[in-house]
Amino acid sequence: MPLYFQSLRSSSSGNCLLVRTEKTTILLDCGLGSIRQTREVLRRNVKTIIDAILISHLHSDHISYYPLRFIADEGITLKVHRDCVEDLKLRHLRDGQLNHLKIEYYETEKFRIGDLTIEPFEIPHHPCFLTCGFAFYHDGKKLVVATDFWNYHKLYDYFIDADFIFVESNHDLQLLKRFPNPNSHYHLSNPKTASFLCDVIEKSRKRPAAVMLGHLSKERNTPQIAIKEINSVLRKNGINDTLKVLTAPPYETSDLIEI
């Protein structure tokens, strides 16, 4: 049974990812800015019932008030880390308009939605925002998604032996010098992402079929720079060009990946 992945949006302006099987459809984050954009993006690209939307953290490019209104009106279950539920309510549910929002919580233990097994894991991001990545398991396949982190040394076990990896490659160091941003400290640079991927592949018994780079900064990175830097480091570490490295379009949907 296949496992599918698609990036619907991935940038510092908005993030929404799709993971599905033939029976189960999950969105990871829904930071689409407006009710109109949320409605258009989801209705154009998601042709099945959405079983749940998982929220990695509460930054506005991952979830905000207007997508929450759409989610509430559609009756979709929102799953948030247990330690973020009260913060979500304080930020967005004070006016009473979202009292019908269906909220469930997860913790860093495996759980199931339909025929998907999901393993959340904490990743280091901004100190005020608890942030999670996710490993998805289905029919012997493993898909791992993590963006918005700056240190990877305790995360290897979640990525080892993945069949597909979606990982942040936020900024190019030279462009960061030209366009400084203190928040870049909380994100992975291209060289760090490359080093992390090399370590994961070295520790794995098998290589992922593909890697997709996401959450690229508009001002401090480009798809061409990111792929060039990643592939250069991979080659220097003896990893040949058979590893497919892709980038997620920032304002469009990616191709649907079958794993």
Q: What ranges in the chain are assigned the alpha helix state H? A: 35-45, 65-74, 85-92, 156-159, 173-178, 190-203, 223-236
Q: Which domain holds residue 98?
A: 4-258
The first and second tokens of residue 166, run together, are: 């979606």
29 close to 14: Cβ distance less than 8 angstroms: no
Going edge to edge, which strands form the sheet with 257-258? 102-106, 77-81, 52-54, 25-28, 14-20, 4-11, 257-258
Amino acid 48: pLDDT: 94
The total number of structural domains that make up the chain? 1
Amino acid 98: pLDDT: 82
Q: What is the mean pLDDT of each run of 10 residues along the chain (259 residues)?
A: 96 95 98 94 95 97 94 96 94 79 96 98 94 98 97 96 98 97 95 97 95 96 96 91 90 96
What's 163's domain CATH number? 3.60.15.10
143 close to 19: Cβ distance less than 8 angstroms: yes
The pLDDT tens digits of the residues spanning 58-86 come to: 999 999 999 999 999 999 999 999 999 99
The first and second tokens of residue 163, run together, are: 């069949």
Amino acid 240: pLDDT: 72
Amino acid 176: pLDDT: 97
Alpha carbon of residue 141 to chain centroid: 18
197 close to 242: Cβ distance less than 8 angstroms: no
Amino acid 4: pLDDT: 98
Q: Which of 143, 151, 88, 97 is nearest to 124 (CA)?
A: 151
The pLDDT tens digits of the residues spanning 12-24 come to: 889 999 999 999 9
Q: Which residues of 23-45 are buried (b: 16+ CB within 10 A; e: fewer)?
A: ebbbbbbbbbbeeebbeebbeee
The first and second tokens of residue 216, run together, are: 């690229």
Name the pairing type of β-strands 131-138 and 116-123.
antiparallel
The H or E element that residue 103 is part of is strand 102-106
216 close to 16: Cβ distance less than 8 angstroms: no
What type of residue is 29? D
Cβ neighbours of residue 95 closer than 8 Å, sequence gap 6 or more:
none
